[in-house]
Amino acid sequence: MARALLIIDVQNDFTEGGALGVRGGAAVAQGVSDLLRSSEEYALVIASRDWHEPESDNGGHFAAAGADPDFVTTWPVHCVRGSEGAEYHPALDIDRVDVHVRKGTGEPAYSAFEGETTDGRSLDEVLAERGIDRLDVVGIATDYCVRASALDALGSGIRVRVLTDLVAGVAPESSAAALKEMAAAGAEFA
């Protein structure tokens, strides 16, 4: 069996200056690129990104016009396909990415396992085809999409290791709670 790297949502809108930018997002992008240049341990490298529909509330994911987002289930407009905000952060070197997953197209989605590859397959299918039984998880945001993706991977029977120096969260408290939840579900940390 083999180990893969899952890069979660290292996109312009989730890094400093973006619509939902988190502190440390640009550093995560650079750190993941450094990891990819220095490591040969991954049989597969996957990158996910939010890929929301333009001119849509994406199933209620975007706050209604004139309403304030609650930052729990509704959010400001972000990562709209075709926009600069939806693109990978420029410090993220995607040359070693084998598979790209798009999620949240027309609906709320936090986990990379809710998306599909650019050729229409699920992440579960891709991992099974490649014999992946171990997954290192990195990216943004620790307390939302990293958490959801790690928990879904664990639920699929995949061993998960979160590389804690290569994640960034929305808030320290919710990020700490997410790490605790992932640990309780069986995630390892490095």
Which of the residues are catalytic? 9, 103, 145
Render 138-189 in DSSP notation, one character per residue: EEE-IIIIIHHHHHHHHHTT-EEEEEEEEEE-S-HHHHHHHHHHHHHTT-EE
Q: What gap in Å lies between CA 26 and CA 160, rounded to an integer?
A: 23
CB within 8 A of 78, min separation 6: which ones? Answer: 13, 14, 18, 19, 20, 50, 52, 62, 85
CA 140 to chain centre: 6
Phi, psi values for residue 117, rounded to 5°: -70, 170
